[in-house]
Amino acid sequence: MSKKRILLQFDTDSHASVFDAIVAMDAGIDRLLQYSNVKPEQVRDLVHGAMYTRGPQDLNRTAIFIGGSNVVHGEQLYRNAIDTMFDPFRVSVMIDCNGSNSTAAAAVLSAARHVNLEGSCALVLAATGPVGQRVAKILANEKCKVYLSSRSVERSQECVDALVAQGVASSRLAAISSNDEVWSSKALEESQMVFACGAAGVKLLTAEGLAQGKGLKVAIDLNAVPPLGIEGVGLMDKGVEREGRFDYGALGVGGLKMKIHKASVAALFETNGKTIDCQEMMGIGRDIIARETPVL
């Protein structure tokens, strides 16, 4: 008889995310073990508990999910978990702190329905947050040119430097300030895609500003809290055509995000030793879209 599928939820917050717990159950796991307020230095002992309790042949029935609102600490937990394991005692690990990875993958895949990513150009507004950084990273890895915008050019440059340190090609990344009208206009005019990744309830682009983007094929706003991030793009928009563009709001992207999140949890149990972050979620999302696309 095969062993139960157990997911360990390591969360950086004082209460492990209810949202992540419910998605995990919906993804078909058998048991969820929740650990809250997890610190990077505590990961090794927790992971040892997962590595040595079942034989290597059953380690595909144990996996780790890393979440919580502190994305920087979450990434440390993720790295520490991977670094703790060695062959053949590996379990699969996934990271989706505050939904940042699955949201970014879903946003880029939504844009890719309308734009050939390779060789195109994108403007990422509020690129300094967890979601914006991942959108920028995925786009650059898909061979897009990416303008990373922030209220502070120092912060957007820090993000560029961090992405370059992660192996992203520097030639594809440009840091700009949203307060610099010349560069903001240039970026909008050059871009086929704009992604608004600002904090909840923050408008980043007016209707007038959006109209400046004459070559825009896609506008995606990930903020679900009024006022929305892009004036004129609706919360529920899912590929709504306006002015030659396809518009997506946060809930329009949210359906694919949920599917990617759930499928990623399920994928953890396909084999042991998988690691799933935003790049792997792109592959998982592409498979979901391919399955849903009718064959003519």
Question: By CB under 6 A, which span of 46-54, 148-156, 160-168, 206-214 interacts with ligand NAP?
Answer: 148-156
Cross-strand pairs, 65: 9, 94
Q: Give the binding range for ligand NAP (CB under 6 A) out of 36-44, 73-81, 146-154, 238-246.
A: 146-154
Q: Which of 97, 19, 11, 29 is nearest to 269 (CA)?
A: 29
Least CB distance from residue 257 to ligand NAP, whole Å? 5
Binders of ligand NAP among 90-109, rule CB under 6 A? 98-100, 103
Contact assessment for residue 148 and residue 176, using Cβ atoms and an 8 Å cutoff: yes
Contact 223, 195 (CB under 8 A): no
| Nearest-approach distance from CB 253 to ligand NAP, in angstroms | 6
Strand partners, 242: 245
132 binds ligand NAP (CB under 6 A): yes
* Candidate list 67, 68, 74, 198; residue touching ligand NAP; CB under 6 A: 198
Residues 244-263 that bind ligand NAP (CB under 6 A): 250, 253-254, 257
CA atoms within 13 A on the CB side of 270: 11
Q: Does 150 bind ligand NAP (CB under 6 A)?
A: yes
Residue number, nearest CB to ligand NAP: 129
Judged by CB under 6 A, the residue of 67, 68, 74, 129 near ligand NAP is 129
Asked whether 51 and 4 are in contact (CB, 8 A), the reply is no
Question: Which of 32, 33, 82, 202 forms a contact with ligand NAP (CB under 6 A)?
Answer: 202
User: ∠106-111-114 over CA atoms, to 5°?
Assistant: 140
> Tokens in use for 117?
């990513």
